[in-house]
Every structure is written in structure tokens, then in C-alpha cells.
Amino acid sequence: EAGVTQSPTHLIKTRGQQATLRCSPISGHTSVYWYQQALGLGLQFLLWYDEGEERNRGNFPPRFSGRQFPNYSSELNVNALELEDSALYLCASSLWAANQPQHFGDGTRLSIL
């Protein structure tokens, strides 16, 4: 069974540009979560999608957005990139039910120059 896959592995952008990160969940998982891990900081929750709907959003500005497609894959879009957006972005997936284990991808490392 394939795990959670994320692409690209690395992404280099400049300030003001837009970035798109992609995530494919484990087959059968309907929930997708996005997390940010900035250098020296802990993991922070960004967005949670399930069945194509945004279920919850962390304390991030609106330039962080995303969507979930009918096949349950997901995109995270970051507009007007700022230097502090440099981080490892992790995607996780789970079955939709209360209190399910989350399975993480290897992440996309986004570097802003």
C-alpha cells in the first residue's frame, strides 16, 4: 500500500511569488491535513480537508489556502510568499472518524530567497 506522497520534495521561490504544494493521501483516506514546521519552531496546524470541504483552519493568514479534489488529493497554495514562509510543509491523511491515527508524507521543503 502506497503511503502519503508529497510533491515536489524541494521548492525554491522568491519573495512575492506563489507556491503550490501537492499531496496524495493513502487510498481510502478521506481526510487530509497540512502542517508547517518552520526552522526552530514546532509543528503548526494549517488546514484540514475532508470530503472536499475545509473542516478547520489554523492561525495563518488568508494567503495560505488549499483545496481537496474528488480523488481526495489536495493542494496547498501560498500566495505573496514571504521569507518567513520558508519551512517544511507536511501533509498527513487519515480515515474520517473520530480519533484516527494520521499518516504523514515526507514533506515539501519550501525555501524563499
Partner 1 sequence: KNEVEQSPQNLTAQEGEFITINCSYSVGISALHWLQQHPGGGIVSLFMLSSGKKKHGRLIATINIQEKHSSLHITASHPRDSAVYICAVNYGGGSQGNLIFGKGTKLSVKP
Q: Do 76 and 47 meet the contact criterion of CB atoms below 8 Å apart?
A: yes
Does 103 bind partner 1 (CB under 8 A)? Our answer is yes
Least distance to partner 1, CB of residue 1, Å: 15
The contacts of residue 72 (CB under 8 Å, 6+ apart) are 25, 29, 30, 32, 93
Q: Using the minimum distance from each CB to partner 1, give the nearer residue, 79 or 104.
A: 104
Least distance to partner 1, CB of residue 3, Å: 10
Q: Do 107 and 45 meet the contact criterion of CB atoms below 8 Å apart?
A: no
Of 9, 13, 6, nearest to 103 by C-alpha is 6
Coil, strand or helix: which one is 83?
A: helix
Q: Using the minimum distance from each CB to partner 1, give the nearer residue, 50 or 85.
A: 50
Site string for partner 1, 58-77 (x = CB under 8 A): x-------------------
Q: Which residues bind partner 1 (CB under 8 A)?
A: 31, 33, 35, 37, 42-45, 48, 50, 55-56, 58, 88, 90, 92, 94, 96, 98-104, 106-107, 109
